[in-house]
Amino acid sequence: MVLILKRIILIFSFLFLASGTIFAQRIPVVGVMPFEVRGSGVTSADTVNITNRIIAELSSWGTLSVVQGSGGAEYIIRGTISRQGAVFILSAETVNAGTGQILNEYSEQIAVGGEASLFLFCAKAVERVPLPNYLVGLWRSSLPMPDGPVVCIIEFKSDRTVVVERYDTWEHKQNNAIRYEGYGAGAYSYAGFANRHITVNSQAVRIDAIVNVNLTLEETLPEQTAVNQPGLSLVFNSEKTAFDIVNGLLPCGTNHDGPSVYPSSVLGFTSFNKIQ
């Protein structure tokens, strides 16, 4: 027996987006000034090396256009390098080139010698630079189930709010399937981390962003009325028209009756395609 509880949904924004143009994300231009020496124990070769490594790290992310110096830059990173014993201390600020406003000030320590990672320093440097958010838009995910697909249609907005136009929840127990077509709203945070790797199932996976998602849903199974999923790692395709959650899911139901119904006991949305 299949019991399906439905509500009629008018998805005007979906129809509008499907017929409209998807605007490209804008890439900001960041200039890195040569770091200056402060105090003793730092050579000019040290500053050149560290400055070049900062440029290389930021350039590898794929979310910035990075130049050396200030020419053509919208945001400028400028700083100093000092030394205390076996560590270099990098102190810097990021400035809006157009207004002269200091966006933030920060520092980081790295070991003298070797090639210590500058990722954390660079993340601080562009913390307030408006990096492109490839999650903005309307997305759809679908799970094929014996009684029909379980569907999620969700819109991530540029102001970090979420509109959930459809969020199916599904349960299979004792040969009965129940589906609810839910809806709701919420909020999210987005941090682009191109060129970062995490380990998933003993495999190194390059991720593009880390997302926290908090949803309040109606007309769902009781356990899905609140969906709070922190630290979801996303991998986008090259066109940014699809993404996979590689270290978690957006939960949408439970299978109590074994792999003949569904491979796992927990259902969740993990693969999304942009609706165009």
Contact 206, 195 (CB under 8 A): yes
Residue 11 pLDDT greater than 60, yes or no: no
CA distance 128 to 99: 14
Q: Is the pLDDT of residue 10 over 80?
A: no
Q: Using alpha carbons only, how large is the chain's radius of gyration in Å?
A: 23
**Residue length of the chain:** 276
Chain position carrying tokens 């980081």: 108
Q: What is the pTM of this model?
A: 0.74
Q: In a 3-state reduction of DSSP, which class is residue 223?
A: helix
Residue 224 pLDDT: 93
- For tokens 């249609």, the residue is 153
Cβ atoms within 10 A of the Cβ of 57, count?
18
Average the pLDDT over 38-60 and give the result. 94
Query: Do 140 and 13 meet the contact criterion of CB atoms below 8 Å apart?
Result: no
